[in-house]
Amino acid sequence: MRIFLGHGHDVEPVYRHPLRVRTAEAYMWLAYRLKTLRLPHLYDYGFRVDYDRNMKDGGQSHVREASRILRQERFDVVVFGHTHVERLVNFRGGGTYINTGDCLRRKMYASIDTRTGNCSLRHFRGSAVPTEERAHSRSF
């Protein structure tokens, strides 16, 4: 069983160009330092911009990217977390996308049985998140 584990931010458009990656990482480093110095406005602004660009669609762009990785790179499971939108998607053509959501507030984890191929997204309290069924995305 081939499993792709990634944070998820690296599949977003800003991370497809090396200079943009360095700029975004430097900005977030600086913004976090300012937050620790009790100057949170730059960090909060960066978070809002990132949210508006990458998360307001409910994580759909990450579902599409997971579909691409499953098909083109031949993984069985793709696991992301960046959007904080919990999801478990089984694609009809094969493969599963899991986003563990927010492990701090909603306390969730991915369970992957490598012998049977069964995947679930669960709350630490025991209940499971419903599974979505989808066709593979066609727009890359």
Closest by Cα among 98, 138, 139 to 118:
98
- Same structural domain for residues 82 and 125? yes
Whether residue 91 is found in the same domain as residue 49: no
20: its two tokens: 């943009």
Cβ atoms < 10 Å from Cβ of 92: 9
pLDDT at 82 over 80: no
Chain segment 11-66, per-residue pLDDT in tens: 776 677 778 778 877 877 887 787 788 777 777 777 777 677 666 677 787 888 88
Of 139 and 82, the structure prediction assigns the larger pLDDT to 82
2 contacts 94 by C-beta, under 8 angstroms: no
Query: How many other C-beta atoms lie within 10 A of the C-beta of residue 122?
Result: 16
Bridge partners (DSSP) listed for residue 137 = none
pLDDT score, position 139: 41
pLDDT category at 140 given cuts 50, 70, 90 is very low
Mark whether 91 and 29 lie in a shared domain.
Answer: no
Give Cα 29 to chain centroid, integer Å.
20
For residues 14 and 39, state if they share a domain. yes
How many CA within 13 A on the CB side of residue 70?
A: 25
Say if CB 136 and CB 93 are below 8 A apart: yes
Q: Do 79 and 44 lie in a common domain?
A: no
Instruction: Give the global pTM.
Output: 0.71
What residue type is assigned to position 104 of the chain?
L
Task: Write the pLDDT tens digit of every residue in 86-100.
Answer: 889 999 888 999 988
Q: How many domains does the chain have?
A: 2
- Residues 15 and 9: beta-carbon distance below 8 Å: yes
Provide the domain limits for residue 31: 9-54
Residue 139 lies in a domain: no
